[in-house]
Structure 1
């Protein structure tokens, strides 16, 4: 394949722009905010799970407290009715004696139930404090996540804008390169990890960074100026310039 030396040199410009686009894509993918957001997301998920558990515990304690208080009320009401019957004296001595025993028993039962209510109230208060603490922590982590997301989006926006500008420039430069030369370059770039053309600089291929031996150099020297030569080591297009050392 033949191509004017100027066209081959423009191919290096295309390659430089392609490298810049690769660098921008890598930078976009490697923004530190990505890892930060991922870490915060894990923390947020864990905290929300703990918050749900604490809210569930508080809700369960609330229901348990309500039931325990109802039990206390029932015992209190029963004791009050028994006391009224006892105070009225409208019963046989045996019944009155039984009422006295039942009132004593109910008083003990009421005391036990009130202890349960107090214990449940303490557990509920502790759960409420835990809910408040976790709610605050979730809010704090969410705030950090929002901040990191905003920073990531801003950085991505800048990189995307630069990439769009570089892509436009690349399109213009590539449009001035002969189609067959550009097609070969694209094929080699895909095969060679993003580098399809390299400069021959001081007898060294800048694609594989291997210095050409004397035989290879003589072959390049003997090639016509418009011949498209390839590196014998990496097979990339080897572009000759005034600094090639030939």
Structure 2
């Protein structure tokens, strides 16, 4: 393939722009905010699970407390009725009086036990409520941190995208001045060679693979016409000759 030396030099300009665009793409994907947001999302999901568990516990203990308080009220009401019968004098049989007194004492013990249950449930419910409040506050803090990180990411991305847009337009203009067949070969090689399809021959060294040409390779390059598109024998990239090639 042949191409004017000036066209080959412009190919280096295209390559430089492609390298810069690749660097910007990497910079966009490697923004620290991406990892920060991922960690925040993970922490948020874990806290939400814990919050649901705490809310469920609070709801369960609330129902348990209501049931325990109802049990206490039932025993208290029954004890009050028995005490009223005792105080009324309506029960005159000694045996019936003894049974009634025994039942009132039993109900008093039962009420005490149930009141202890209520206190225990109330303590567990209070603990669950405190846990809900704590987790809700922590989730609020994570939401704020997430919003701030997302804002920083968006701001950085916006700046990168603006630079990419400018470089893309410049790249299109420069690429349009390169012969189609040369550009096609460059694009093919760039896809095969980690984004570098053309490299400068500098001080007898290919800047694509960083290997120095041996004497035979150098003689072949020296003998090639100025408009001949030469390739590096090591990496097969387009090798562009300049005044600093060391030939």
TM-score after normalising by structure 2:
0.97
| Corresponding residue for residue 160 of structure 2 | 159
Matches within 5 A, 1:47-196: 47-93=47-93, 94-196=95-197
Distance 1:231 1:16 in 2: 18
Distance 1:236 1:126 in 2: 70
Matches within 5 A, 1:33-48: 33-48=33-48
- For each residue in 1:86-129, what CA deviation from the matched residue of structure 2 results, as whole angstroms up to 9, or x when unmatched? 12222341222211111111111111101110111111111111
Task: Give the secondary structure class of the aligned counterpart of 1:198.
Answer: strand
Structure 1 moving runs of 4+ over 3 Å: none
Distance 1:98 1:161 in 2: 92
Q: After the TM superposition, which of the residue ranges 35-44 and 170-179 deviates more from structure 2?
A: 35-44
Matches within 5 A, 1:21-32: 21-32=21-32
Q: What is the CA-CA distance between 1:220 and the residue it aligns to?
A: 0.6
Q: Unpaired runs of 5+ in structure 2?
A: none
Distance 1:226 1:113 in 2: 101
Kept after mapping to 2: 8 A contact 1:37/1:149: yes
Distance 2:22 2:92 in 1: 102
* Alignment pair present for 1:235 and 2:223: no
Cα RMSD (Å): 0.9
- For each residue in 1:133-168, what CA deviation from the matched residue of structure 2 results, as whole angstroms up to 9, or x when unmatched? 111111111211111111111111111111111111
Task: Give the secondary structure class of the aligned counterpart of 1:200.
Answer: strand
Distance 2:226 2:3 in 1: 9
Task: Give the secondary structure class of the aligned counterpart of 1:216.
Answer: helix
Distance 2:129 2:88 in 1: 47
| Corresponding residue for residue 19 of structure 1 | 19
- For each residue in 1:48-102, what CA deviation from the matched residue of structure 2 results, as whole angstroms up to 9, or x when unmatched? 1111111111111111100000000000111111111112222341222211111
Task: Give the secondary structure class of the aligned counterpart of 1:117.
Answer: helix
Kept after mapping to 2: 8 A contact 1:89/1:96: no
Task: Give the secondary structure class of the aligned counterpart of 1:182.
Answer: helix
| Corresponding residue for residue 202 of structure 2 | 201
Distance 1:143 1:53 in 2: 23
Q: Unpaired runs of 5+ in structure 1?
A: none
